[in-house]
Structure 1
């Protein structure tokens, strides 16, 4: 995080060389991120567009590094489009219990941790992880048994190697850097 400004000329030089080894989405991703965080948002968008033109990103806004070709990019999926209607119905039926578990854990000192992916620019953002990268956090799930039992019943969420299931709370005025998830 602290060396973003210093990384920009090196990343630019690598990408500008047009060497085959620099046609790597990670370079474009990190260069665009560094530019955006140092105030060069227009230049960041140009890097992202260049990444799209080279086939590295789906769009200048969808800059995920791990993509499933059969998934269609859309801003919102209906239950039917996602093909997991029954699971989503269970979540909806249990939303009050899920909310209560998240709020109950929030009252307990030390369960919610600072956001750890350097996505927060300012303010306060706390998270309480239940699953991450296909691993269940058993101690945390003891504080949210209903939520975890629902996730346990849904293998696509429970075993997702690039996803997370968590409660997330931001204080008013918190600013988060523009970002997208690791997958589409």
Structure 2
């Protein structure tokens, strides 16, 4: 069955994405699949498992690629031993700049990463901690300065589940170089189940629904890189890179969306202060319920030591 070329706006894609994600979060995966199929029928996407908000319909929907088709996979694999030697010196991930990934993608378990690049922005501290790895990344321009995604070391602990999700754009591909690969971790991309191998690369389109499960006993570590999709024409690629927001602009946008007016870091502690509008809202609510403090736990508001269902 052939589907019509996508013709819907980004706003429509965003709303379908939110609905599908909400259905999955509630555990109604059948309804989520039916909704994704309806979206394809309505010309939102071309494949029900590929649901990015930023979508280029000219790129064929293909979930997994042959690593040997890309020059940089040989570059990464040739440098595997040097990267692994640098990684083997890490006995305390937190002390070496690995930070927890705490977001809706983490269904359970523990997931940490150290980021070298994000949307072309170089994180000097990470590169100084891992100079060998940073040098290898910088030898791949489409993943470093000219990249639109991230370059990280991803440390996944046993018992972790990264829930099914779709990346935000199909304008790039994701590359994994296996560094520490014990028995147990597996990744699904679309309908394909992939296994990592130490010293070998995987290449896939993360705009397809994918998830990771680690049922082993030792951490899995990969070098993760986003690279520009080779199917992009030069004009589209340049337009995407020109539209990249600076890191400062992204932080400003995040703080505005979250109602944060100020952030302070004291050692490992992070303190967030609400902006004026958000602070006023919370203050009014606490006054109404007669409480002096509130905390969000498992989707419920907790006032002092009393849990109120809202």
The interval holding the TM-score normalised by the smaller chain is 0.7 to 0.9
RMSD: 2.4
SS in 2 for 1:149: helix
Report what 2:156 is aligned to: 170
> Does the CA contact (< 8 Å) of 1:102 and 1:167 recur in 2?
no
Task: State the distance in 1 between where 2:56 and 2:83 align.
Answer: 29
Gaps of 5+ in 1: 1-19
Structure 2 equivalent of residue 73 of structure 1:
61
1:145 Cα deviation from its structure 2 partner: 1.5
Which of 11, 27, 43 is 1:39 aligned to?
Answer: 27
TM-score of the superposed pair, with normalisation by structure 1: 0.76
Equivalent pair of 2:46/2:57 in contact (CA under 8 Å)? no
1:58 to 46, 69, 73: 46
Q: In structure 1, what is the equivalent of residue 133 of structure 2?
A: 147
Mean CA deviation greater in 40-49 or 101-110: 101-110
Tell me by how many angstroms 1:105 deviates: 4.5
Q: CA deviation at 1:118?
A: 2.3
Give the whole-Å Cα distance in 2 for the aligned partners of 1:61 and 1:37: 16
Shift of residue 116, structure 1, vs aligned partner: 4.3
SS in 1 for 2:84: helix
Give the structure with the higher percent helix: 1
Over 3 Å counting, the alpha-carbon distance change for 1:92 and 1:112 in structure 2 is same
Cα contact 2:52–2:169 (8 A) shared by 1: yes
User: Could you tell me the TM-score, scaled by structure 2's length?
Assistant: 0.47
Structure 2: runs of 5 or more not aligned = 1-7, 171-310
User: Counterparts of 1:94 and 1:66 in 2: how far apart (Å)?
Assistant: 33
List per-residue Cα deviations over 1:86-108 (Å, max 9, x = no partner).
Answer: x2211010112222334434624
Q: 1:151 to 1:70 in 2, by over 3 A?
A: farther
